[in-house]
Chains A and B, each alone.
Chain A
Amino acid sequence: EVELVQSGAEVKNPGESLRISCKTSGYSFTNYWIAWVRQMPGKGLEWVGVIDPNDSDTRYSPSFRGQVTISADKSTSTAYLQWSSLKASDTAIYYCARPEDNNDYRVFVYWGQGTLVTVSS
């Protein structure tokens, strides 16, 4: 059974760094891209970016390029989303998701449960 289990909720101050995780199981981690999606409070879904765990090829939405870093650890089948300096506007739920097909990332069948990140002083 494919599972994506995300790390727990975080409360941080502006300017702090943070890394959240998405631990996968039930399939070959290096065969499928992993995406990150943001949902700000009461708002819609926004694509953050995606990584190919096989070679760490990473692609970002223009809105998030330079703001976050996506990475993956093949040894633990885990993908990460990190910030070096959080802002209040980063407050949101972040989902990881796995596509249906192992060749691309056109549609997402499997989703993590979401990680709530709250940035407030």
Chain B
Amino acid sequence: SYVLTQPPSVSVAPGRTATITCGGDNIGSKNVHWYQQKPGQAPVLVIYYDTDRPSGIPERFSGSNSGNTATLTISRVEAGDEAGYYCQVWDSSTDHHVVFGGGTKLTVL
């Protein structure tokens, strides 16, 4: 089955830029989606189809995807961005399964 690899944790100071990666075999050929999950809450979609932002998501959130790595970038990080972040793809090669990365805990210092 397809595997997505994320760093368990990323730390960043307020106002700086956070970069969260999601690695997978030729992931650049797939569409990557990113979810934010705060403690005790359901996930929220923040980036879909590699680079698109759903309505209501700040422009500070952006995404890219190429080669074997997809990246979620959060500019001008705020305390409220502290959360878990999960990448997700749809793996059409294995019976159309949904695959999540292991998640990255973003800590705002």
Q: A residues within 8 Å of B by Cβ?
A: 35, 37, 44-47, 50, 59, 61-62, 95, 97, 100, 104-109, 111-114
Contact = CB atoms under 8 A, between A and B. Distances in A.
Given A59-B95, A107-B33, A44 B86 contact: yes
Given A44-B103, A47-B97, A47-B98, A113 B42 contact: yes
Contacts of B86: 44-45
A70 B54 CA distance: 28
Interface string B1-35: 10000000000000000000000000000010101
Nearest to A93: B42
Minimum-distance CB pairs A-B, first 6: A44-B103, A47-B98, A111-B42, A106-B90, A45-B100, A107-B33
A111 to B, nearest CB: 4
Contact of B103 (A45, A107, A109, A111): A45
A114 B44 CA distance: 13
A114 B97 contact: no
B45 A35 contact: no
A92 B49 CA distance: 29
A9 B105 CA distance: 26
A108 B45 contact: yes
Interface of chain B: mostly helix, strand, loop or mixed? strand
Nearest to B96: A59
Contact of B98 (A35, A44, A100): A35
Contacts of B43: 37, 45, 95, 97, 108, 111
Interface of B: 1, 31, 33, 35, 37, 42-45, 48-49, 54, 84, 86, 88, 90, 95-103
B31 A106 contact: yes
30 contacts: A37-B100, A44-B84, A44-B86, A44-B100, A44-B101, A44-B102, A45-B43, A45-B88, A45-B103, A47-B98, A47-B99, A47-B100, A50-B98, A59-B95, A59-B97, A61-B97, A61-B98, A62-B97, A95-B42, A100-B48, A106-B98, A107-B31, A107-B48, A108-B33, A108-B35, A108-B43, A108-B45, A109-B45, A109-B48, A111-B44
